A and B are shown apart, each in its own frame.
Chain A
Amino acid sequence: GNSVTQMEGPVTLSEEAFLTINCTYTATGYPSLFWYVQYPGEGLQLLLKATKADDKGSNKGFEATYRKETTSFHLEKGSVQVSDSAVYFCALSDRGTGNQFYFGTGTSLTVIP
């Protein structure tokens, strides 16, 4: 079946620190992979995506590379800011009806000045 496992939080970092949030997946086919961000009190927003192996998604200084060999899609940012404090969700969409997404459990990030 399909599933996503992501690093448990919460994660607390100082401003300008390097961020990695690990995400691995299990899929029956060739999934598309996503990172969503949820700021406090808001809905989920797409942060970045990758649709095939070796693709790199990037946005707002965040990057993730689709690694088929390790079934991973780790999120990285070189220098975090206080405004990056949020919950981050890894997700996959695999072959099947209706573009069903499989979400990880979310990783809460707090960045302190």
Chain B
Amino acid sequence: DTAVSQTPKYLVTQMGNDKSIKCEQNLGHDTMYWYKQDSKKFLKIMFSYNNKELIINETVPNRFSPKSPDKAHLNLHINSLELGDSAVYFCASSHSGKGETQYFGPGTRLLVL
């Protein structure tokens, strides 16, 4: 039933570690996104994939690398984690085209110690 799912829901790790967050959607959408939400609730787009092709690549450190094995999956790998990476990461999906509603996952709460 779940439309956009993310794993894990919580991630607590040490500085310097490498971690991955997985996202899957079963809505038949062809576009997927990663957002970062900071402690003040500000949402920042990080990446977007359309049909497995990277189309939005905002200014984020190159320690962040998205991977889309197929249209239904978009994973986020983070190398050498830093304290400032602590945030909530949301995956979203939509049909392509202006005005299409984006559907969000429940979020992954990342805490870097």
Chain A nearest CB, measured from B9 CB (Å) = 10
Q: Give Cα A54–Cα B43 distance, bound, in whole angstroms.
A: 27
- Does B68 lie at the interface of the complex (its beta carbon under 8 Å from any beta carbon of A)? no
Point out the residues of chain A lying under 8 angstroms from B106, CB to CB.
42-43
Chain B nearest CB, measured from A51 CB (Å) = 5
Point out the residues of chain B lying under 8 angstroms from A34, CB to CB.
101
Are the C-beta atoms of A45 and B104 separated by less than 8 Å?
yes
Are the C-beta atoms of A98 and B42 separated by less than 8 Å?
no
Interface residue ranges of A39-68 to B (CB < 8 Å): 42-46, 49, 51
- Does B100 lie at the interface of the complex (its beta carbon under 8 Å from any beta carbon of A)? yes
Are the C-beta atoms of A38 and B41 separated by less than 8 Å?
yes
Point out the residues of chain B lying under 8 angstroms from A98, CB to CB.
31, 48, 50, 55-56, 96
Point out the residues of chain A lying under 8 angstroms from B97, CB to CB.
99
Q: Chain A residue with minimal CB distance to B101?
A: A46
Are the C-beta atoms of B98 and A32 separated by less than 8 Å?
yes
- Number of A-B pairs whose CB atoms are under 8 Å? 66
- Does B7 lie at the interface of the complex (its beta carbon under 8 Å from any beta carbon of A)? no
- A interface footprint on B48-87 (CB within 8 Å = 1, 0 otherwise): 1010000110000000000000000000000000000000
User: Given A98-B96, A100-B48, A100-B56: A43 and B104 within 8 A (CB)?
Assistant: yes
Q: Chain A residue with minimal CB distance to B99?
A: A32
Q: Chain A residue with minimal CB distance to B97?
A: A99
Chain A nearest CB, measured from B103 CB (Å) = 8
Chain B nearest CB, measured from A42 CB (Å) = 6
* Sample (25) of A-B pairs whose CB atoms are under 8 Å apart: A32-B98, A34-B101, A38-B41, A42-B107, A43-B106, A44-B90, A44-B104, A46-B101, A49-B99, A51-B99, A93-B98, A97-B56, A98-B50, A99-B48, A99-B94, A99-B96, A99-B98, A100-B48, A101-B45, A105-B40, A105-B41, A105-B42, A106-B41, A106-B42, A106-B43
